[in-house]
A and B are shown apart, each in its own frame.
Chain A
């Protein structure tokens, strides 16, 4: 069976035994939500922390503060139960190194990861796995049969978080 691909600024939901995959997370953060009893998983690839800083929102899935609650709501519609949902997150790196002060102060990856954690805390969803920060890209795979989340990085073997 082919993995279901989640693009940048998107989220998707799948049931056992499908796998959700998002490729090349840099400063973006991948949020994998999972209800083991219902065997339903959701995966979001968020790009920015806070939609409130923008006047016009054309894609809710781009923002951590909107994408995660939207994804949870849709998972509930699919039959997941809020109290059973757990989360694993990955990404939020700083990909570019530079002497440029502007780039070092912006650190969008760190802000993305911080906002994702804050939103999950507000929603009372426990974070049981996390691989964030650093300066390298990550591919994230959620297996909805087991709830296992795998991370692929350049030049390193696949690992589970």
Chain B
């Protein structure tokens, strides 16, 4: 029996809870940054074939911005933060204090803004995750891409050295009830991380 097949509903519940705590903390950081309310969906967790992961978000050719971090420590993995093009441009205008609608294409300044937002939000996610599990996580420097959803997501895995056919994905959507901000947090624990996470919470896989 493959490793992923040992995952049961209970494990997925635990992962959803980690998604909830991590994304909750990140959403709070985003809300503080924007001074507005940020809502969050109930996290989804599951093992998915790589090619189905874009379907969680939209169509393969939809333009998205993605900030990605490799996470090392006893429970290694990957954390990603994705924004629709509309949200990305909104965030840039908002944080640079420009009239909304100023950003029409991404430049170096825009990339810096989004990478920094990604940095702060991923940091918040990992801090909450680390406190909950009593584990230490060390994020890599961020990697950034803005392009078609399909190209961005597949490359986030392949360029990051993740070559398996499927991945364990914990996904949470966040959105603002007032503006067009909408995005996603992804936590992708590596195979060997799951046992460490469960053990740290006093459970066995």
Contact call B61/A24, Cβ cutoff below 8 A: yes
Q: Which of B144, B151, B152, B161 has the most CB of A within 10 A?
A: B151
Whether B39 is near chain A, meaning CB under 8 Å from some CB there, is: no
CB contacts (< 8 Å) of B61 on chain A: these are 23-24, 139, 152, 154
Question: What 0/1 readout, one digit per residue, does chain A (40-69) give for beta carbons within 8 Å of chain B?
Answer: 000000011000001000110010000000
Known: A24-B54, A24-B148, A108-B159. A8 touches B165 (CB 8 A): no
Judging by beta carbons under 8 Å apart, are B143 and A93 in contact? no
Task: Name A9's closest neighbour in chain B (CB-CB).
Answer: B51
Given the interface pairs A28-B158, A58-B165, the reply to whether A100 lies near B143 with Cβ below 8 Å is yes
Partner of B154, one of A47, A99, A102, A138: A47
What's the interface size class on B, roughly?
Answer: 20 to 34
CB-based contact B50/A97 at 8 Å: no
- The answer to whether B160 touches A95, judged by C-beta atoms less than 8 angstroms apart, is no
B85 to chain A minimum Cβ distance, whole angstroms, is 9
Asked if A144 is at the interface (CB within 8 A of a chain B CB), the reply is no
A136 contacts partner chain B, Cβ-Cβ < 8 Å: yes
Main SS class of interface, A: loop
Residues from chain B with Cβ under 8 Å of A96 in the complex: 66, 68, 143-145, 155-156, 159-160
Give residues of chain B (120-173) contacting chain A, Cβ–Cβ below 8 Å: 140-145, 147-152, 154-156, 158-161, 163, 165
Chain B contacts of A132 at CB under 8 A?
none
The tally of residues in A whose CB lies under 8 Å from a CB in B reads: 38
Q: Please determine whether B148 and A23 come into contact, CB atoms closer than 8 angstroms.
A: yes
Interface residues of B (CB under 8 A from A): 50-51, 54, 59-61, 63, 66, 68, 70, 105, 111, 140-145, 147-152, 154-156, 158-161, 163, 165
Q: Which residues of A contact B63 (CB under 8 A)?
A: 154
Residue numbers of A with Cβ under 8 A of B are 7-10, 23-28, 47-48, 54, 58-59, 62, 93-100, 102-103, 106-109, 135-139, 152, 154-155
Chain B nearest CB from A72 CB (Å) reads 23
CB closest chain-A residue, reference B53 = A8
On chain A, the residues within 8 Å of B105 by CB distance are 155
| Chain A nearest CB, measured from B162 CB (Å) | 10
- Of all chain A residues, the one with the shortest Cβ separation from B111 is A97
- Can you show 5 pairs from A to B with CB atoms below 8 A apart? A28-B155, A59-B165, A94-B159, A95-B147, A137-B151
| Closest-CB distance, B12 to chain A (whole angstroms) | 23
Question: Shortest distance in angstroms between A131's beta carbon and chain B's nearest beta carbon?
Answer: 14
Point out the residues of chain B lying under 8 angstroms from A7, CB to CB. 51
Flag if B50 contacts A95 (CB, 8 Å): no
A128 to chain B, nearest CB (A): 24
Which of A24, A47, A59, A155 sits near B158, CB closer than 8 Å?
A47
Q: What chain B residues lie within 8 Å of A47 (beta carbons)?
A: 154, 158, 163
